[in-house]
């Protein structure tokens, strides 16, 4: 996927991370810098784009993020602009709460705040962005997979040297760090060092869901719907803790938020305990333990419960406007959500454009 650029390109923007934020930032830059001389390189550590969105597209299943909620207007508009289909989150019927040996049955009404899922899973957002970026902007945008960045050095000539794990390096004029702050602080050597107070603030930005394990149980039939159950259930007595319906016209499934380290059998056993014997034999079990994903979770991440509330200092650029923090966790609103990633991507693109065009 790596491509050389036309030699007359003048301004080189390097985006580190091809999750929602990095790809959205690149998209907005291609719009706002239209007719200007620029090139964008996106460096992605994994062998895929998407970051914390990871789907099984043909089954409309998500092993990472699932929902876009109704107040998430920036993400919803992007979904509409990209013409991606949506699926309403199913929640009709009775929900189950396990406490002690009892399973209580409750009518909870609206549980998911008008959440929708995406056709093809939330990964289709990044897949569509990638497709648009690489087909419509072939001469200006390059995406390099399998390219973990290990160091960034601001040189005296105002260029930034970005070193990859394979020791190759790239020189850029501007760098956008579109990966979780907690992760880049612990994995990328930044020279000259950032101010100590800024490092502390960035280190306080918990990476949303970095220590969650998500499982999906596929079944022949959506037996819970036959029993007038919503598929939503909660138990705090097992490693598997929270169930939601994940069905669509291509499969019947429940997904389950679990504690890190949970095994597939533990998920099945806990599901049987709360839903009954119909849950015993899933046709497939899919699982990702995000706490083991080294390009999401640092060793100090324990971020299940809270969203980052990054202070303004984390949104200020460094090195005279050359270095930007551009992922969901540093967004000024909806940090940690897909919404925060889209907003922060757009915000960095706008501010960078002002800087570049205003020169």
Ligand X SMILES: Cc1cc2nc3c(=O)[nH]c(=O)nc-3n(C[C@H](O)[C@H](O)[C@H](O)COP(=O)(O)OP(=O)(O)OC[C@H]3O[C@@H](n4cnc5c(N)ncnc54)[C@H](O)[C@@H]3O)c2cc1C
Q: What is d(CA 356, CA 177) in angstroms, rounded to the nearest whole number?
A: 18
Tell me: does residue 244 bind ligand X (CB under 6 A).
no
Residue matched to tokens 């705090």: 236
Q: With b meaning 16 or more CB within 10 Å and e meaning fewer, what string describes 261-271?
A: ebbeebbbebb
Tell me: does residue 66 bind ligand X (CB under 6 A).
yes
Tell me: does residue 298 bind ligand X (CB under 6 A).
no
As measured in angstroms, the least distance from the Cβ of 19 to ligand X is: 2
Tell me: does residue 289 bind ligand X (CB under 6 A).
no
Backbone angles phi, psi at 312, to 5 degrees: -55, -30
Of 171-200, binders to ligand X (CB under 6 A) are: 178-180, 183, 187-188
As measured in angstroms, the least distance from the Cβ of 290 to ligand X is: 5
Of 5, 223, 295, 319, the one binding ligand X (CB under 6 A) is 295
Of 15, 16, 56, 76, the one binding ligand X (CB under 6 A) is 16
Task: Report the run of H or E that residue 341 belongs to, with start and end.
Answer: helix 338-357
Query: What is the C-alpha radius of gyration for the chain, rounded to an integer number of angstroms?
Result: 21
Cβ atoms 272, 223 nearer than 8 A: no
Instruction: Return the number of the residue (39 or 182) whose C-beta is nearest ligand X.
Output: 182
Stretch that binds ligand X, among 83-91, 193-201, 335-343, 351-359 (CB under 6 A): 335-343
Q: What is d(CA 171, CA 348) in angstroms, rounded to the nearest whole number?
A: 20
Tell me: does residue 15 bind ligand X (CB under 6 A).
no
Tell me: does residue 130 bind ligand X (CB under 6 A).
no
Q: Classify the C-alpha dihedral 273-278-280-283 as positive or negative.
A: negative
Binding to ligand X by CB under 6 A, coded x per residue (else -) over 203-242, reads: -----xx--x-x----------------------------
The pairing of beta strand 61-62 with beta strand 189-191: unpaired
Of 336-355, binders to ligand X (CB under 6 A) are: 336-339, 341
Tell me: does residue 43 bind ligand X (CB under 6 A).
yes
Enter the tokens of residue 95.
């929900």
Cβ atoms 311, 201 nearer than 8 A: yes
As measured in angstroms, the least distance from the Cβ of 211 to ligand X is: 9
CA-CA distances (angstroms) from residue 102 to 92, 98, 181, 245, 325? 22, 6, 42, 22, 47
Tell me: does residue 32 bind ligand X (CB under 6 A).
no
Instruction: Please state the residue numbers annotated as binding site for FAD.
Output: 149, 329
Q: Which residues are annotated as part of the binding site for substrate?
A: 257
By the criterion CB under 6 A, which residues form the site for ligand X? 16-22, 43-46, 51-53, 64-67, 148-149, 178-180, 183, 187-188, 208-209, 212, 214, 290, 295-296, 327-328, 336-339, 341
């Amino acid at each position: 996927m790596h491509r050389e650029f036309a030699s007359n390109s003048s301004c080189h923007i390097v985006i580190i991370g091809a999750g929602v934020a990095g790809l959205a930032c690149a998209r907005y830059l291609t719009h706002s810098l239209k007719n200007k001389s620029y090139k964008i390189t996106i460096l992605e550590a994994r062998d895929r784009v998407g970051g914390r969105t990871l789907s099984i597209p043909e089954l409309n299943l998500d092993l990472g993020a699932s929902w876009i909620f109704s107040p998430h207007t920036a993400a919803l508009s992007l979904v509409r602009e990209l013409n991606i289909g949506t699926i309403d989150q199913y929640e009709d019927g009775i929900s189950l709460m396990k406490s002690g040996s009892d399973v209580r049955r409750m009518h909870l009404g609206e549980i998911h705040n008008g959440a929708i899922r995406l056709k093809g899973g939330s990964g289709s957002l990044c897949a569509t962005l990638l497709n648009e970026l690489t087909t419509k902007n072939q001469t200006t945008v390059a995406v390099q997979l399998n390219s973990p960045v290990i160091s960034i050095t601001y040189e005296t000539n105002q260029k930034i040297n970005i070193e990859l794990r394979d020791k190759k390096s790239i020189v850029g004029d501007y760098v956008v760090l579109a990966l979780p702050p907690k992760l880049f602080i612990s994995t990328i050597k930044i020279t000259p060092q950032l101010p100590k107070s800024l490092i502390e603030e960035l280190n306080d930005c918990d990476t949303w869901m970095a220590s969650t394990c998500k499982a999906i149980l596929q079944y022949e039939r959506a037996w819970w719907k036959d029993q007038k159950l919503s598929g939503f259930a909660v138990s705090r007595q097992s490693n598997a803790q929270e169930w939601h319906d994940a069905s669509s016209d291509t499969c019947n499934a429940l997904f389950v938020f679990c504690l890190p380290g949970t095994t597939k059998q533990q998920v099945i056993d806990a599901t049987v305990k709360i839903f009954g014997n119909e849950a015993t034999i899933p046709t497939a079990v899919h699982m990702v333990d995000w706490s083991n994903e080294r390009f999401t979770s640092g060793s100090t991440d324990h971020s299940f419960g809270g969203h980052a509330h990054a202070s303004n200092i984390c949104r200020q650029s460094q090195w005279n406007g050359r270095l930007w923090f551009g992922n969901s966790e540093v967004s000024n609103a909806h940090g940690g959500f897909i919404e925060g990633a889209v907003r922060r991507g757009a915000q960095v693109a706008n501010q960078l454009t002002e800087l570049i065009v205003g020169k």
